[in-house]
Structure 1
Amino acid sequence: MTPDPGIDDLAARLEAARAAGRTLVTGLTGAVSAGKSTLATRLAGRLSERGLSVEVISTDGFLKPNAVLQAEGALDLKGWPHTFDTPGMLAALAAIPSGPIEIPVHSHVTYDIDPALARRIDRPDILIAEGLNLHLRAEAPAPEDPLDLLLYLDAEEADLEAWYVARFLGFWEAAEHDPASFYARFRTMDRDAVADLARRVWEGVNLPNLRQHIVRARPVADLVVRKGPDHQIAGIGRP
């Protein structure tokens, strides 16, 4: 893997935090489109090079199915705390060190839980759970915390919006030849209209979620990972 001082630093910190013989359960959270899954994948690769077994899961797997959200009138706020099966997520994270355990998976193509994609996780050296709804340490009273380490991925709001729009457009482009994709419904719109739609979703759903809920994880995180507009790690420190 190409040397990357930020990833190397973060990997060393996780390795040092792990107690021998026990899974280090690590949470990685931050805004929608912050690059959590990409960072988790790169970090897992670096840790694997150090001889550690690493698994990456997404908290999206603990979103309630769309049918349930539709019945609850919550589908338009998908990603907000009340759209998750939080007790199920906490129980799964707590059970991982004693595993094996089956983890549900959310498909970004169909935009729903896909039972066929469920994964079996069996006591890795390090587990990285990336996604939303990991600000629970900030709740009062806080539930029992299954995370050994919580990382917060931070970036400027303007950069987050630009990254979200770019990601939305990427899904829209990929849907041209995939009628099963959730984004296929937007193929009758031109690119500018889709970009405008993405900005409205960001401003109406994801930005309020960030400001009201997600960012609450930042002051209670063990480490804050700061990203620059080029997606590179600009710094790692305490809250």
Structure 2
Amino acid sequence: MADAGQMNTQGIDAVAARFLARATAGDALIVGLTGSVASGKSTLAGHVARHLSSAGHTSETVSTDGFLFPNSVLEACELTNRKGFPETYDRAAMATAIRAVRSGPARFPGYSHETFDIDPALAREIARPDVLILEGLGLPVPGGPERGAGEPDLLVYLDADIADLETWYVERFVRFWEAAEHDPTSFYARFRHMTLDELKVFALKVWNDINRPNLDNHILPMRDHADIVVKKDAGHAVRIVEDRRA
């Protein structure tokens, strides 16, 4: 996750302006925001949502992590080590929630990064907002210029250099590990016996064995289908580098 304080206001303003240009009064604009693990999707979504709210528009952000199948299901299907790959998401449930929020309140399931599993207590009911930013992985490839009711109206890809993504992933892993020091329920508590150096080596292995193949084979290809491509640099500043529906 990026440092929330470092994203540049100008870049965030530009992204929010693109969303508003496509919003229609009385309808919910559903924005799918995807990109690599640790690219800062939730941070960008939060900044843009606050910008929209300050401008008088109702906005909500939801993570697609809530649509991951529970760990028990993944284990039964031998998909535990592929969590985050397309087949580990309940895309039918995601499409149902997207359709529902267009006309009224819809329930979105929640996911805990501490327990590394679906958490019913984190589920949220969201009324139809002006803009809903659905950020994360598992989003469908757009069906074409005219989007169906169960898919996002706009697909945004948050891009970054591979070396930066790797660094941010390890940093994020370390933060969760540090937070687990006094929380035995955390998924990361099982790694507390490691030294910091050992943990970084392990985190890098997880990146190379799981997250990098997912990025190369499933996430990066979404960039070619995105309506808007946003690039984030090593200092976490963002800028729009491509708008294919301008």
TM-score (norm 1): 0.94
Report Cα offsets for 1:75-134 as digits up to 9, x if no partner: 111000111111111221122111211110010011000011110011011000000012
Q: Which runs of 5+ in 1 are unaligned?
A: none
Aligned-partner SS, 1:206: helix
Report Cα offsets for 1:15-73 as digits up to 9, x if no partner: 11101100000000000000000000001010111100101000000000001101111
Matched ranges for 1:24-43 at <5 A: 24-43=29-48
Q: Which runs of 5+ in 2 are unaligned?
A: none
* Match status 1:181 vs 2:186: yes
Identity of aligned residues (%): 51
Question: Aligned pair in 2 of structure 1 residues 209, 144: CA closer, same or farther (>3 Å)?
Answer: farther
2:195 to 169, 176, 190: 190
Which residue of 1 is the match for residue 74 of structure 2?
69
Contact preservation (8 Å) 2:142, 2:151: no
Aligned-partner SS, 2:157: strand
Matched ranges for 1:7-156 at <5 A: 7-137=12-142, 146-156=151-161
Report Cα offsets for 1:147-170 as digits up to 9, x if no partner: 111100000111100000000000
Which residue of 1 is the match for residue 212 of structure 2?
207
Aligned-partner SS, 1:98: coil
CA RMSD of aligned residues (A): 1.9
* Match status 1:157 vs 2:152: no
Which residue of 2 is the match for residue 167 of structure 1?
172
> What is the Cα deviation at residue 138 of structure 1?
7.3
Aligned-partner SS, 1:32: coil
Equivalent pairs counted in the alignment come to 237
Contact preservation (8 Å) 2:35, 2:136: yes
Q: Distance in 1 between matches of 2:236 and 2:130?
A: 27
Question: Aligned pair in 2 of structure 1 residues 234, 143: CA closer, same or farther (>3 Å)?
Answer: closer
